[in-house]
């Protein structure tokens, strides 16, 4: 009744019938047995704002007709979404958007209730047609301007009911916190309504100028075809509002359904919920009822009371229907200001969790969530709830699109002495002095890394007596990554990274010789060869970005470098570079010149194990990338292609497979499971070594490095001497 009369500005019968019929339909089609479906405060507020705006300056429009169109249209939208399996849309809207919307609804309800409790709603109804008071901000200004015209009788009764309700809620909460769980069943709203009605009847408050509910016309219950000739023109005016009600109602119902299902371990089908809620709107809309969706509070109460099946909702609906037709006459003397006090308490309950959520996002630096919240709330207060939610949805969708279109390629480097390749970009979290930068990065699980750690610990136990091992102790296994040690040989020959220095254990080769507060395993970067991992499916959305990121890697050595960067790529991967004496001299000389350099790439290896799908547009762009590399005499290798027939077929049909045959493994004596794709990254690097070795013997007529002579004798590792102290 409160949602219908005080919020949606329609007859009370519209809210009562919505709570009567909706649970019966949901019992048949719904997937959450404890869900109670009925009118919701947020959706009722949006409906009320739309009806108030359309009927205020046009007395010929019947609010019930608008309600028929709104409820039926929102139901049809949800039903169509269910048929098209659009259940995923509840994952697009972020929680901060919902919190901003709910906060705006709560504040709007409190502002409207304050106006009614003060008795200023009567003045609002008699304003000239050229004065518009629709937005919450306009209503605040209206209250301030007309505060001296308040109704003292209505204010005292409404404020008294509000204080009693808030005090009762506080006492209930204290009892529940002290293990008196049954206190939560105390019906404070029912008691306040009954007492206020009795007092209004005994003291004839209506005769003293107090507004009461009056007679509830149950005869207004009628069936009306939503697509009738006189209703069709209204669809164009309310479609946007109906769409907003449908999306937000489904989002609220989905949140309640997931909360209930988590307690009962019941799977929830979002598509089935769309069908159920859409069917409810189509059925009850024909009778002019409020839009009905699942509510968490009443559904949770239904669960606490022991309900196990949807029949509980059906019996509640039948009980509401009985009360509507046989007991509503006793509510004639119920003061409207008491109903508004009930609405005000609901509004306060909607914003109770807002400060806690805002402080959480401030503490975790969730600036995107805070921006979404502020935009939604501000636009809802100063313009309308529809505009606020539309802006919040737009920003959320833009975030999703930005996330899905960005490429997440990684540059791989080899752990010294191991057949393991790790993401070198992870090491950029450490500065030149070894201190941790403020910007956090993801931790990477590296296959074979635990064995590598075990070997390092074994070497630690075999250290010569008297040598210090700069180990940083950590308590948890997750922090084990920070315990990798570097060994000094004790004779000042720290730059000898080949393990040939005097006093150095030969088994410790692969560690840098300089100790620092953050000692890390040594990584090897293949000179002239770029190893790129694509850890995601390639689609038309992210492949275009892939081309630009590959060029950035080639020029600057990192996907995180700004395009305006002019430093050498060899200096960007990590600032803690340990090298031998000869390389250090060359590096110092190049740093003194301070001239930008372009990385000379002769080979590029793609690790495609994470590319689980490839669409046609992505294949076309990938073909252009490979063709461009080969025109520049850069050899391209595909490794660890995800074993899926559709991917291999698309690579073949697009012509990529034909281009890759220029560096097929059989030319170098390597066996491939599916030529010309390499089974492992090391296989591609062996071919790279063969090509580099053959370049010293001469090139063939086409300009490619040829394999000739005793390749095994001349073959050597062309991993550079640069050592990156980083975190894998």
Boundaries of every domain in the chain: 2-401, 529-725
pLDDT band at residue 265, thresholds of 50, 70 and 90? low
Instruction: Output the pLDDT for position 473.
Output: 39
pLDDT band at residue 500, thresholds of 50, 70 and 90? very low
Instruction: Output the pLDDT for position 220.
Output: 58
Q: Inform me whether the pLDDT recorded for 466 exceeds 80.
A: no
Instruction: Output the pLDDT for position 362.
Output: 92
Quick check: 298 and 41 in contact, CB under 8 A? no
Instruction: Output the pLDDT for position 584.
Output: 46
Q: What sign does the dihedral 493-495-500-503 (CA atoms) show? A: positive
pLDDT band at residue 523, thresholds of 50, 70 and 90? low
Helix then strand then coil, in percent of the chain rounded to 5, is 55, 5, 35
For 151, list phi and psi in degrees, rounded to 5.
Answer: -95, 110
pLDDT in tens, 217-258: 776 567 788 888 888 888 888 898 999 899 888 888 887 787
Q: For the stretch 632-643, what's the b/e string if a residue is b when 16 or more beta carbons lie within 10 angstroms of its beta carbon?
A: eebbbbbbbbbe
Measured between alpha carbons, how far is 368 from 690 in angstroms, rounded to an integer? 50
Neighbours of 485 (CB within 10 A): 19
pLDDT band at residue 373, thresholds of 50, 70 and 90? very high
DSSP 443-460: ----TTHHHHHHHHHHHH
Look at strands 292-294 and 522-524 and give their pairing: unpaired
Instruction: Output the pLDDT for position 236.
Output: 85
Q: How many CA atoms lie within 13 A of 640 on its CB side?
A: 17
Instruction: Specify whether domain 529-725 bears CATH 3.40.50.1820.
Output: no
Q: Inform me whether the pLDDT recorded for 654 exceeds 90.
A: yes
Mean pLDDT computed over 259-265: 66
- Angle formed by the axes of helices 232-264 and 385-405, to 10°? 60
pLDDT in tens, 16-68: 889 999 999 999 998 888 888 999 877 888 898 888 888 876 777 888 889 99
Q: Inform me whether the pLDDT recorded for 649 exceeds 60.
A: yes
Measured between alpha carbons, how far is 26 from 282 in angstroms, rounded to an integer? 12
In the block, which residue shows the tokens 């969730």? 366
pLDDT band at residue 438, thresholds of 50, 70 and 90? very low
Q: Both tokens of residue 572? A: 């960007």
Quick check: 1 and 217 in contact, CB under 8 A? no
Of the candidates 416, 218, 220, the one whose C-alpha atom is nearest the C-alpha of residue 324 is: 218
pLDDT in tens, 379-391: 989 988 778 888 8
Q: Which is higher by pLDDT, 487 or 600?
A: 600
Average pLDDT, the chain: 75
Q: Inform me whether the pLDDT recorded for 594 exceeds 50.
A: no
| pLDDT > 90: percent of the chain | 21
For 667, list phi and psi in degrees, rounded to 5.
Answer: -70, -20
Residue 578: enclosing H or E segment and its boundaries?
strand 577-578
pLDDT in tens, 548-562: 888 877 776 655 555
Q: Does the predicted TM-score (pTM) go above 0.75?
A: no
Mean pLDDT computed over 411-421: 67
Q: Which is higher by pLDDT, 301 or 335?
A: 335
Q: Both tokens of residue 315? A: 């019996």
Q: Which is higher by pLDDT, 11 or 722?
A: 11
Residue 301: enclosing H or E segment and its boundaries?
helix 296-304
Instruction: Output the pLDDT for position 426.
Output: 58
Q: Inform me whether the pLDDT recorded for 503 exceeds 80.
A: no
- Rounded to whole angstroms, what are the CA distances from 672 to 542, 639, 664? 29, 10, 9
57-61, 489-493, 504-508: range with highest mean pLDDT: 57-61
Instruction: Output the pLDDT for position 526.
Output: 67
pLDDT in tens, 300-328: 767 766 777 888 889 989 998 888 888 88
- Alpha-carbon Rg for the chain, nearest whole angstrom, is 35
Q: Inform me whether the pLDDT recorded for 266 exceeds 60.
A: yes
Quick check: 635 and 662 in contact, CB under 8 A? yes
| pLDDT > 70: percent of the chain | 71
pLDDT in tens, 439-460: 433 334 444 444 444 544 454 4
For 671, list phi and psi in degrees, rounded to 5.
Answer: -90, 130
């Amino acid at each position: 009744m409160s949602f219908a009369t005080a919020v949606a500005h329609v007859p009370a019968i519209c809210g009562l019938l919505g709570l009567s019929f909706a649970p019966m339909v949901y019992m048949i089609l719904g997937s959450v047995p404890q869900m109670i479906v009925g009118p919701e405060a947020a959706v009722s507020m949006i409906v009320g704002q739309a009806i108030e705006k359309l009927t205020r300056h046009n007395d010929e429009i019947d609010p019930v007709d608008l309600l028929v169109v709104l409820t039926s249209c929102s139901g049809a939208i949800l039903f169509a979404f269910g048929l098209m399996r659009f259940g995923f849309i509840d994952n697009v809207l972020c929680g901060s958007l919902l919190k901003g919307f709910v906060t705006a609804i709560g504040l709007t309800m409190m502002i409207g209730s304050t106006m009614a409790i003060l008795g200023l709603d009567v003045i609002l109804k008699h304003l000239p047609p050229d004065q518009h008071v629709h937005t919450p901000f306009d209503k605040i200004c209206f209250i301030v301007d007309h505060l001296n015209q308040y109704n003292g009788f209505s204010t005292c009764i409404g404020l008294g009911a509000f204080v009693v309700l808030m005090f009762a809620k506080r006492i209930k909460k204290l009892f529940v916190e002290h293990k008196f769980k049954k206190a939560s069943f105390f019906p404070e709203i029912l008691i306040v309504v009954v007492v206020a009605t009795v007092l209004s009847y005994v003291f004839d408050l209506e005769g003293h100028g107090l507004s009461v509910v009056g007679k509830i016309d149950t005869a207004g219950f009628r069936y009306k075809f939503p697509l009738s000739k006189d209703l069709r023109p209204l669809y164009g005016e309310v479609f946007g509002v109906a769409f907003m009600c449908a999306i937000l109602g489904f989002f609220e119902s989905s949140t309640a359904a997931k909360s209930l299902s988590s307690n009962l371990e019941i799977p929830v089908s979002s598509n089935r919920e769309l069908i159920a809620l859409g069917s409810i709107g189509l059925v009850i809309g024909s009778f002019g009822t409020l839009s009905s969706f699942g509510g968490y509070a009443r559904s949770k109460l239904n669960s606490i009371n022991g309900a196990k099946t949807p029949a509980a909702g059906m019996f509640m609906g039948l009980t509401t229907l009985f009360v509507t037709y046989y007991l509503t006459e006793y509510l004639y003397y119920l003061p409207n200001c008491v109903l508004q006090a009930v609405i005000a308490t609901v509004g306060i309950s909607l914003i109770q969790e807002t400060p806690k959520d805002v402080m959480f996002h401030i503490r975790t630096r969730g600036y995107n969530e805070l921006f979404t919240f502020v935009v939604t709330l501000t636009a809802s207060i100063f313009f309308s709830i529809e505009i606020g939610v539309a802006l919040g949805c737009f920003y959320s969708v833009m975030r999703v699109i930005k996330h899905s279109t960005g490429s997440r390629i990684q540059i791989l480097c080899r752990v010294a002495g191991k057949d393991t390749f790790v993401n070198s970009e992870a090491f950029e979290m450490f500065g030149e002095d070894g201190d941790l930068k403020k910007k956090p990065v993801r931790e990477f699980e590296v296959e074979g890394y635990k064995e590598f750690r075990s070997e390092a610990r074994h070497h630690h136990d075999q250290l010569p007596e008297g040598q210090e091992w700069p180990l940083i102790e950590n308590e948890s296994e997750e922090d084990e990554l920070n315990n990798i040690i570097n060994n000094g040989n004790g004779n000042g020959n720290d730059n000898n990274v080949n393990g040939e220095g005097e006093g150095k254990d030969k088994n410790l080769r692969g560690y840098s010789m300089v100790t620092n507060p953050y000692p890390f395993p040594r990584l090897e970067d293949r000179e002239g060869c770029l190893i790129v991992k694509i850890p995601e499916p390639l689609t038309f959305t992210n492949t275009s970005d892939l081309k630009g990121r590959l060029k950035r890697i080639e020029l600057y050595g990192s996907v995180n470098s700004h395009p305006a960067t002019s430093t050498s790529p060899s200096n960007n991967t990590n600032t803690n570079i340990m090298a031998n004496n000869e390389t250090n001299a060359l590096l110092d000389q190049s740093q003194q010149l301070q001239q930008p350099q372009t990385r000379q790439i002769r080979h590029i290896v793609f690790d495609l194990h994470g590319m689980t799908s490839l669409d046609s547009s992505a294949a076309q762009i990938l073909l252009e990338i490979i063709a461009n590399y080969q025109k520049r005499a850069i050899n391209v290798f595909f490794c660890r292609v995800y074993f899926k027939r559709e991917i291999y077929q698309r690579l073949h049909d697009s012509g990529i497979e034909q281009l890759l045959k220029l560096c097929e493994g059989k030319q170098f004596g390597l066996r491939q499971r599916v030529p010309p794709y390499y089974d492992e990254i090391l296989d591609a690097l062996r071919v790279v070594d063969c090509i580099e070795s053959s370049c010293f013997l001469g090139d063939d007529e086409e300009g490619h490095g040829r394999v000739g002579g005793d390749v095994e004798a001349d073959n050597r590792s062309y991993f550079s001497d640069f050592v990156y102290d980083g975190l894998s």
